[in-house]
Amino acid sequence: QVQLVESGGGLVQAGGSLRLSCAASGRTFSTYYMGWFRQAPGKEREFVAAISRSGSIQDYADSIKGRFTISRDNAKNTVYLQMNSLRPEDTAVYYCAASGFGIGHSIASYKYWGQGTQVTVAS
């Protein structure tokens, strides 16, 4: 079992940057594919980014491609989401998730979820 704890959210002006972190418990972190999702008020949870177990492969939603970067440090059991050029429409609760199956965009692919961290982008 994996427990995930996100941090790094907050309030930022449009055009600014934030770096989210997701710390995982357990010694099997490197065996999981990791993803970031977000959920804005009144909207469904959506895929943001995912990364392979080694970190060599990343996948991004079109809406954030070129602005966000996902990375991981298996020695620290942590996955990151660097968010640049933030826009008001990026405002959401951001969740990290772990999958044993592969890089995927589907919520159903991910077995373990964190509690989320709020990101608010002011215009």
Question: What's the pLDDT tens digit per position in 4-62?
Answer: 999 999 999 999 999 999 999 977 999 999 999 999 999 999 999 999 999 999 999 99
What is the rounded distance in angstroms from the CA atom of residue 51 to the CA atom of residue 104? Answer: 9
Q: Which two tokens stand for residue 110?
A: 């991910």
Q: What is the pLDDT of residue 43?
A: 97
How many angstroms separate the Cα of 71 from the Cα of each of 20, 32, 37, 55, 123?
10, 13, 14, 6, 27
Q: Does 105 score more than 80 pLDDT?
A: yes
What is the rounded distance in angstroms from the CA atom of residue 90 to the CA atom of residue 122? Answer: 10
Per-residue pLDDT, averaged over 83-107, amounts to 96
